[in-house]
Structures are given as C-alpha cells and as structure tokens.
Amino acid sequence: MRHPSSVFRSLLAALLFALAGTSSPAFTDDARSFAIEAALPWLDLKSNPFNLRETWWSQDAKVKQVKIIRHQLFQRNEYWFWVACENLKAKISVHVYDEEGKLVDAEAFEKNNSAGVRVVPKKSGSYLIRVVVESSPQKVTHWSMVYGFR
C-alpha cells in the first residue's frame, strides 16, 4: 500500500499536469467563423456537397491592400474559396488567377462581410488567390479564408 502523502503528491501532479494546458487564454477567429458560415450553403448540398478542408488562412490588411496566397489546385477538382472579415461592416473580395495572371473564376459572390469564388482548374498547378479588403471602418481589418473541394 502506498503512503498517503505519495498518493496526494501523485494526484497533485496529475492535476497540475491537466491544468498546464489551460493556462493560456482561448482564441476564436471570428473572421474564420464568418467564412465557414458563408460556406454552409455549399457544404450542406443534398447531392455532391463540397468538403471543407482544415487548411485556412488569416491575416490583417489595410483597405485596398492586396494579399496574395499561392495554392496548389488540381485538374478534375472543383473548389470554392470563402473569405470573411471579422468586422460586419467591412467588404472583401476574392479572386483566383493562374500563373500567367489570367482570371480563372467560374463563379463569385460578395455579400455583407464575406465573399466567395468557385474555381474549376483546367490543369493542375500553382494558382494565386487574391484577397482585398475593399472597405472597412477600421484602419486594419482581420480576415480569414477557408476552402472546400469536390
């Protein structure tokens, strides 16, 4: 039988170990949540829904500041990129270009603080996703982008 003080020390050590991971504050990216919300109509399709990827991007930008993300897309897949700002009064746009700078959007929308673009690549390769905060009441606006494919 173990001594009561060693049992107490073991329990205390287990408690401290469990609490060690909770010492930092929680972080929620509201812009990402809004981007996922914008994606819901395409994720909830009854037939052939898009699969949301775990990969996502998030940055801060000034109004009209262009942000470019290079991403590999594959022929025979169809993609949607959804982007949103955390500020509900901000406007944002997203478009996709091939390596030669040609616009490859098949469909796009901008609504409230979110936007989206559908892409059906004609060939596999590296593509450029252009995100711009078009207007915002803030000097710097936080945005996030998620994407899905089928």
In a domain, 92, yes or no: yes
Predicted model pTM:
0.79
Backbone angles phi, psi at 139, to 5 degrees: -65, -40
- Domain span including residue 104: 30-149
Q: Please tell me the predicted confidence (pLDDT) of residue 12.
A: 45
Q: What is the CATH number of the domain that holds 102?
A: 2.60.120.380
pLDDT exceeds cutoff 50 at 137: yes
The rounded distance, in Å, linking the Cα atoms of 128 and 142 is 20
Instruction: Tell me the two tokens of residue 149.
Output: 């494919």
pLDDT exceeds cutoff 80 at 18: no
| Nearest partner of 150 among 47, 51, 35, judged by Cα | 51
In a domain, 22, yes or no: no
Range in 25-39, 76-90, 91-105 with the lowest mean pLDDT: 25-39
| Other residues' Cβ atoms within 10 Å of the Cβ of residue 55 | 9
In a domain, 17, yes or no: no
Total domains in the chain come to 1
